[in-house]
Amino acid sequence: MVGKHLQEMLPKAVYVNSADCDLTSYSETNLLFLTHKPDVVIHLAARVGGIIDNINRPCDYFEDNILMNTNMVNLSRLHGVDQFIGMLSTCIYPDLVHKYPMTEDMLHMGAPTKTNFSYGYAKRCLAVHIDACNEQFGTKYQYLTPCNLYGEHDKWGKNSHFVAALVKKIIIAHHNEEHTVKLFGTGEPLRQFMYAGDLAKVIKYVIDEDIRASFNVATSDNLPISEIANIALGVFKKINPTSVARFEYDPDKPNGQYRKDVSIKKLRRIIPEFEATSLYVGLNKTFNSVLNEQIPIWLN
């Protein structure tokens, strides 16, 4: 999702996906470093998925992410990589804290939320590993902690993120002339959602300007799920005015963490001109891209 945007911004970089290398394998990952001899590593790889998959497969999420992250940091150091940028997630932050939005120094003030516990801890361990590496070996590695992301390059399969699942449900409901779109929970939890291309811009900036600090990357908006869903439906109805869909929430399904908004004060100090893409604009890009490219696959 982020890598596709980076390919447009950093076309000369080498891009590797899961078909090229199994990053949970030390030997395969070591061969990757031996082959490409990188000076800069942007570690975007992770096992990710929706709330139900996280609940049902906690060990898979922990093991795969721990192995990938450990191999990448360890081999970056051993192969003399100058700049390592690891991607975390706001899922790493405590489930409940005394004040919001959360700042970078609040990371270890409690355990991650139960619904993403294994994933959250595995990602938090990446931060611990990077900090420990810097302390012991004098590296200047860093991690960025983005809020929830969305965009046209998201996963559109069974275990997609919230916005991708939402976009897909709205389109399918319209195609099937259904009046309701069912969503988990109550719609009350608050979320920061950022267009994936914005994170790619931040990554490029820290490379271009040789920034080595670790910090949160998010939008200043922290909206209820119900409002995010309504904005998405409004964007779609602008494209397809005949749509009659509305939302129906299922309170028996999990809500997930109530809020996990993070502060972007440090981000604004480092990149004063940073301005996130509005949710409406980002969703419009996502819908239009999906309607042009993905819809035949879904509806066959």
Burial 116-135 (b: 16+ CB within 10 A, else e): bbbbbbbbbbbbebbeebbe
Which residues are annotated as catalytic? 119
CB 182 within 8 A of CB 251: no
Q: How far, in whole angstroms, is CA 10 from its chain's centroid?
A: 19
As a whole number of angstroms, the distance between CA 214 and CA 264 comes to: 12
Closest CA to 57 of 245, 25, 65: 65
DSSP strand pairing (223-224 vs 190-191):
antiparallel
CB contact set of 54 (below 8 Å; sequence gap of 6+): 61, 115, 116, 118, 119
CB 45 within 8 A of CB 23: yes
As a whole number of angstroms, the distance between CA 64 and CA 71 comes to: 11
CB 40 within 8 A of CB 76: no
Spell out the alpha helix ranges (H) of 90-224: 117-137, 162-175, 196-208
Q: Which two tokens stand for residue 103?
A: 């700042």
Q: Which two tokens stand for residue 82?
A: 């100058």
As a whole number of angstroms, the distance between CA 35 and CA 3 comes to: 20
Question: Measured on CA atoms in the order 30, 32, 35, 40, is the torsion positive or negative?
Answer: negative
